[in-house]
Amino acid sequence: MPFVTVDANNKIVSEHGATTTETIEVATDDSRYVTWVNELKAQEYIYKRLEEYPSIAEQLDNIYHNGIDKWKETIKAVKDKYPKS
Protein backbone atom coordinates (compact mmCIF):
# COMPACT_ATOMS: atom_id res chain seq x y z
CA MET A 1 0.00 0.00 0.00
CA PRO A 2 1.29 3.47 -0.82
CA PHE A 3 2.08 6.17 1.70
CA VAL A 4 0.51 9.53 0.91
CA THR A 5 0.25 13.06 2.25
CA VAL A 6 -3.23 14.53 2.52
CA ASP A 7 -4.28 18.17 2.83
CA ALA A 8 -6.75 19.69 5.31
CA ASN A 9 -9.63 18.56 3.09
CA ASN A 10 -8.39 14.94 3.23
CA LYS A 11 -7.36 15.12 -0.44
CA ILE A 12 -4.15 13.36 -1.48
CA VAL A 13 -1.44 15.81 -2.52
CA SER A 14 1.62 13.56 -2.88
CA GLU A 15 2.81 9.98 -2.72
CA HIS A 16 5.91 8.68 -0.94
CA GLY A 17 7.92 5.50 -1.07
CA ALA A 18 7.96 5.10 2.69
CA THR A 19 6.19 6.31 5.78
CA THR A 20 7.10 9.63 7.39
CA THR A 21 5.55 11.64 10.20
CA GLU A 22 3.42 13.43 7.60
CA THR A 23 2.12 10.43 5.66
CA ILE A 24 -0.70 7.96 6.00
CA GLU A 25 -1.02 4.56 4.38
CA VAL A 26 -3.91 4.01 1.97
CA ALA A 27 -5.12 1.07 -0.07
CA THR A 28 -4.71 1.34 -3.83
CA ASP A 29 -8.49 0.95 -4.18
CA ASP A 30 -9.16 3.83 -1.75
CA SER A 31 -11.35 6.29 -3.67
CA ARG A 32 -9.03 9.20 -2.77
CA TYR A 33 -6.05 7.34 -4.20
CA VAL A 34 -7.90 6.27 -7.34
CA THR A 35 -9.04 9.86 -7.94
CA TRP A 36 -5.52 11.22 -7.40
CA VAL A 37 -3.94 8.69 -9.78
CA ASN A 38 -6.55 9.42 -12.44
CA GLU A 39 -5.94 13.17 -12.13
CA LEU A 40 -2.21 12.61 -12.62
CA LYS A 41 -2.80 10.41 -15.67
CA ALA A 42 -5.08 13.05 -17.16
CA GLN A 43 -2.25 15.60 -16.90
CA GLU A 44 0.51 13.33 -18.18
CA TYR A 45 0.52 15.07 -21.57
CA ILE A 46 1.73 18.26 -19.86
CA TYR A 47 4.93 16.64 -18.60
CA LYS A 48 5.61 14.95 -21.93
CA ARG A 49 5.19 18.25 -23.76
CA LEU A 50 7.47 20.07 -21.33
CA GLU A 51 10.22 17.54 -21.93
CA GLU A 52 9.96 17.91 -25.69
CA TYR A 53 9.42 21.64 -26.16
CA PRO A 54 12.57 23.54 -27.12
CA SER A 55 13.94 25.84 -24.43
CA ILE A 56 12.61 29.40 -24.34
CA ALA A 57 15.91 30.65 -25.78
CA GLU A 58 15.66 28.16 -28.66
CA GLN A 59 12.04 29.15 -29.28
CA LEU A 60 12.92 32.85 -29.39
CA ASP A 61 15.82 32.14 -31.72
CA ASN A 62 13.46 30.15 -33.95
CA ILE A 63 11.02 33.07 -34.06
CA TYR A 64 13.80 35.55 -34.83
CA HIS A 65 15.34 33.50 -37.63
CA ASN A 66 12.31 31.73 -39.09
CA GLY A 67 9.28 33.78 -38.13
CA ILE A 68 6.28 33.13 -35.94
CA ASP A 69 4.66 30.67 -38.36
CA LYS A 70 7.64 28.29 -38.24
CA TRP A 71 7.65 28.54 -34.44
CA LYS A 72 3.94 27.66 -34.40
CA GLU A 73 4.69 24.60 -36.53
CA THR A 74 7.34 23.47 -34.04
CA ILE A 75 5.00 23.87 -31.07
CA LYS A 76 2.06 22.30 -32.91
CA ALA A 77 4.11 19.20 -33.72
CA VAL A 78 4.67 18.62 -29.99
CA LYS A 79 1.05 19.37 -29.14
CA ASP A 80 -0.11 16.93 -31.83
CA LYS A 81 2.29 14.25 -30.58
CA TYR A 82 0.95 14.59 -27.01
CA PRO A 83 -2.69 15.69 -27.26
CA LYS A 84 -4.85 16.51 -24.28
CA SER A 85 -6.68 13.38 -23.23
Contacts of 5 (CB under 8 A, 6+ apart): 12, 13, 14, 15, 16, 22, 23, 24
The per-residue pLDDT for 49 is 94
Neighbour tally for 26: CB within 10 Å:
19
The per-residue pLDDT for 80 is 96
Domain boundaries, the chain: 3-42, 44-81
Q: pTM of the predicted model, to two decimals?
A: 0.59
Euclidean distance between CA atoms 4 and 13, whole angstroms: 7
Each residue's pLDDT expressed in tens, for the chain with a length of 85 residues:
677 777 777 777 777 666 665 666 777 788 888 887 888 788 889 889 999 999 999 999 999 999 999 999 999 999 999 998 7
Torsion, Cα 44 84 42 82, to 10 degrees, reads -20
